[in-house]
């Protein structure tokens, strides 16, 4: 059956794992250690050397991309049709089981899968039909609640939460379950939950699959959640062998339910399990690996491994200290342009960041320099829904005739203006050839819509009038900040604790920061600053982003970068409260943040640049930033500091280096700052890394600065 099979291309550790005779195996595979190769060779070894049928092997992946890659490589080695092999994602495998057993799980033969958008629409309909109207109950948040419960194998009748919101959410969950059941619909969470329930309740079917799957292989095991782990246990039973491949140091999805503890749990729950470590790296240079190894050593709860390579040490890691985020972006763009003009293509360069909001400044610089780019796994900044919502409010306030903006925001956030009311307004607009905004006024004046909708329309028009007034005064950053507040857009996301909502809030804050760059912008004749800003948002949302197949710079969050690699990586924004994030510090979740840093560093093959800013505009204000603690964990022998150096940026023997200004009396001294100009030091407090100075600047008033990173010059 095998046409192309050999173990000769494996190193000793890989070969030991592939050819393990233990009933169960756990392979701790470091970044770039060839885990996919090992998984595929294990399948081929089972077929060739152990006479396993290809159809008695179950291989579970986390992405369709990974499943396709495994199938493609298997098809090159097997002389049989592999389409019916059990290779796929958790959802794909479970969907296949449900299709075969639709009667046993009480589903119609032609049951349909609904996506997240469909799920939210159904929840909205349920809330409307059952007159559930509460500003605290947000459909997307309800969907998140339902999905979380399903990931924990909890049905609506088993929920024990007793707080007000959870009670309301669960009420909707119960109706939602009934609706989906009667309509023959399953969401993504239901696919796995119903499969698990089939195996739990039906002994005959459980026995069938236990006998069918002689070996179960799981990729990215560290990313399994509670219900996925339960599913594996039921599918395996007492007879199937388990071959789990994962890396506890790359477990970065705890926020969406992944349980890194499942790696240790596997060793307790499955007998005769042998642990293998793949430590030889085929991706990165020695210096990059030394940095990654030393950072991750600071995590306590890990299995332990040490990546190494036969390749040379390679270039030193460049750590750039920028005065602010603009200088950081300019440095990155200038540096990558040099590489692109020499020997590298654009798609070999990646810019990685902790927060989605950080992409904006890099997008603007790339567009300004005519460099195509691609946001991997996301939207360009000005195309993100929450940003487009704010811009739509501004556009409608500036131009009441903007029907497109009216349609987008009249019921966003939800205020009880449904399709029936919208159709009435559209009818008036069509009949009298007037904008929807004016049609809304006419509908109110003549009581053409239901009373409840009328009150909501009045509220909406008042918001637009208020925004129009705001846009006549104050500076642009304050205007946008006020618009975000009065529209209720921000409060919608503040009510949710999801990672997605936090990202949207960061984007809204970044929009305010973007507005600061327009305070002193040169205007065209008869152009207002509002006009300039709105034009800017339109142009930047429609330019620059390349297609998947184009040669373009890759921009992505650190979470999106997992599984990818690039010759050149720029890891930006390494500052306390940004990376690690403020939330991770407050919630004592630094170990996952450190794993995220480890993932980012190990994406780089040849060249790694790490940058941080001394001043970063966040939440509409300038913040003075301390370099990330992760920088202190990188050995000095593998780095080269460039940019605005400070002796206090790095630790030696666990303590900060002495302050350059120690013992120097600064009070009363006249100083100059690159951004704020000249001023007089009026107070000094703290010592060493915590030394702060108060400066009364001639032009911008009094500010407190961290002495180590402020780059003050004494005149």
Residue numbers annotated as active site: 35-36, 219-220, 250, 603
Question: Is-contact 290 636, C-beta < 8 A?
Answer: no
Question: Is-contact 715 677, C-beta < 8 A?
Answer: no
* Bridge partners for 319 per DSSP: 610, 641
Question: Is-contact 509 501, C-beta < 8 A?
Answer: no
Residue 200 to residues 119, 144, 194, 235, 373, Cα–Cα distance (Å): 26, 25, 10, 10, 48
Report the candidate in 388, 387, 338, 336 with the shortest Cα–Cα distance to residue 366: 336
DSSP-derived letter for residue 55 is G
544-576: b or e for each residue (b if 16 or more CB lie within 10 Å)? bbbeeeeebbbbbbbbbbbeebbbbbbbbbbbb
Measured between alpha carbons, how far is 457 from 348 in angstroms, rounded to an integer?
51
Helix (H, G, I), strand (E, B), or coil: what is residue 571? strand
Measured between alpha carbons, how far is 46 from 405 in angstroms, rounded to an integer?
59
Question: Is-contact 534 382, C-beta < 8 A?
Answer: no
Contacts of 78 (CB under 8 A, 6+ apart): 1, 2, 3, 44, 47, 54
Question: Is-contact 620 509, C-beta < 8 A?
Answer: yes
User: Sign of the C-alpha dihedral, residues 583, 352, 563, 546?
Assistant: positive
Measured between alpha carbons, how far is 81 from 73 in angstroms, rounded to an integer?
13
User: Sign of the C-alpha dihedral, residues 111, 113, 119, 122?
Assistant: negative
Joined together, the tokens standing for residue 578 give 């940004």
DSSP-derived letter for residue 157 is G
Measured between alpha carbons, how far is 490 from 619 in angstroms, rounded to an integer?
12
Measured between alpha carbons, how far is 207 from 701 in angstroms, rounded to an integer?
76
447-482: b or e for each residue (b if 16 or more CB lie within 10 Å)? ebbeeebbebbeebbebbeebeebbeeeebbebbbe
Measured between alpha carbons, how far is 219 from 16 in angstroms, rounded to an integer?
18
- Torsion-angle region of residue 309: left (phi > 0), alpha (psi -120 to 50) or beta? beta
Strands 273-278 and 57-61: unpaired
Question: Is-contact 231 195, C-beta < 8 A?
Answer: yes
- Report helix angle 436-445 to 419-432, nearest 10: 110
């Amino acid at each position: 059956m095998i046409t192309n099979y050999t173990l000769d291309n494996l190193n000793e550790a890989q070969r030991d794992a592939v050819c393990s005779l233990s009933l169960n195996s756990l392979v701790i595979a470091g970044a770039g250690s060839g885990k996919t190769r090992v998984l595929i060779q294990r399948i081929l070894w089972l077929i060739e050397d152990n006479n396993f049928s290809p159809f008695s092997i179950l291989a579970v992946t986390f992405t369709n991309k990974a499943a396709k890659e495994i199938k493609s490589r298997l098809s090159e080695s097997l002389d049989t049709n592999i389409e019916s092999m059990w290779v796929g994602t958790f959802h794909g495998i479970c969907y296949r089981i449900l299709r075969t057993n639709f009667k046993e799980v009480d589903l119609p033969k032609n049951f349909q899968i609904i996506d997240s958008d469909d799920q939210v629409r159904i929840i909205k309909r349920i809330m409307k039909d059952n007159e559930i109207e509460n500003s605290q109950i947000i459909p997307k948040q309800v969907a998140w609640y339902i999905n979380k419960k399903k990931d924990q194998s909890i049905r609506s009748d088993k929920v024990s939460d007793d707080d007000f919101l959870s009670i309301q959410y669960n009420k909707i969950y119960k109706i939602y379950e009934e609706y989906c059941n009667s309509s023959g619909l399953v969401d993504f969470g239901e696919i796995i939950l119903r499969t698990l329930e089939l195996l739990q309740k039906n002994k005959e079917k459980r026995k069938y699959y236990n006998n069918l799957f002689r070996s179960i292989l799981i990729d990215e095991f560290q990313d399994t959640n509670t219900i996925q782990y339960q599913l594996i246990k039921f599918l395996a039973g007492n007879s199937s062998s388990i071959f789990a491949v994962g890396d506890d140091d790359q477990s970065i999805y705890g926020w969406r339910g992944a349980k890194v503890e499942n790696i240790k749990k596997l060793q307790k729950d499955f007998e005769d399990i042998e642990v293998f470590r793949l430590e030889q790296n085929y991706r990165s240079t020695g210096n990059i690996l030394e940095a990654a190894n030393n950072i991750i050593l600071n995590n306590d709860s890990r299995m332990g491994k040490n990546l190494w390579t036969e390749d040379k040490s390679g270039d030193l890691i460049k750590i750039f200290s920028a005065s602010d985020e603009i200088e950081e972006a300019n440095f990155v763009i200038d540096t990558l342009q040099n590489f692109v003009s020499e020997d590298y293509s654009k798609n070999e360069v990646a810019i990685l960041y902790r927060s989605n909001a950080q992409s904006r400044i890099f997008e603007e610089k790339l567009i300004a320099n005519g460099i195509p780019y691609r946001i991997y796994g996301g939207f360009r900044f000005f195309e993100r829904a929450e940003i487009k919502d704010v811009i739509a409010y501004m556009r409608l306030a500036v131009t009441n005739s903007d029907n497109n903006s009216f349609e987008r925001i009249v019921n966003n956030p939800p205020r009880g203006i449904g399709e029936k009311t919208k159709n009435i307004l559209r009818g008036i607009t069509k009949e009298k050839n007037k904008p929807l905004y004016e049609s809304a006024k006419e509908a109110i004046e003549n009581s053409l819509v239901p009373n409840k909708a009328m009150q909501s329309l009045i509220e909406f028009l008042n918001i637009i009038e208020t925004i129009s007034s705001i846009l006549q005064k104050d500076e642009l950053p304050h205007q946008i900040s006020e618009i975000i507040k009065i529209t209720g857009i921000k409060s919608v996301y503040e009510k949710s604790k999801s990672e997605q909502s936090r990202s949207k809030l960061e984007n809204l804050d970044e929009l305010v920061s973007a507005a600061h760059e327009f305070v002193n912008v040169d205007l065209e004749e008869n152009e207002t600053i509002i006009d300039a800003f709105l034009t800017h948002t339109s142009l930047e949302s429609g330019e620059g982003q390349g297609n998947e197949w184009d040669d373009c710079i890759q921009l992505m969050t650190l979470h999106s970068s997992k599984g990818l690699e690039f010759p050149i990586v720029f890891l930006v924004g390494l500052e306390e409260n940004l990376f690690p994030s403020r939330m991770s510090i407050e919630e004592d979740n630094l170990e996952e943040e450190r794993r995220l840093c480890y993932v980012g560093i190990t994406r780089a093959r040849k060249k790694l640049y790490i940058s941080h800013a001394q001043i970063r505009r966040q939440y509409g204000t300038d913040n003075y930033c301390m370099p990330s603690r992760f920088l202190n964990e990188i050995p000095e022998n593998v780095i080269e500091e460039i940019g605005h150096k400070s002796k206090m940026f790095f630790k030696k023997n666990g303590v900060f280096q002495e302050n350059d200004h120690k013992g120097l009396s600064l009070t009363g001294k006249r100083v100059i700052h690159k951004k704020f100009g000249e001023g007089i030091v009026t107070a000094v407090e703290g010592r060493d890394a915590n030394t702060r100075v108060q400066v009364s600047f001639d032009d911008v008033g009094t500010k407190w600065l961290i002495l180590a990173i402020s780059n003050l010059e004494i005149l």
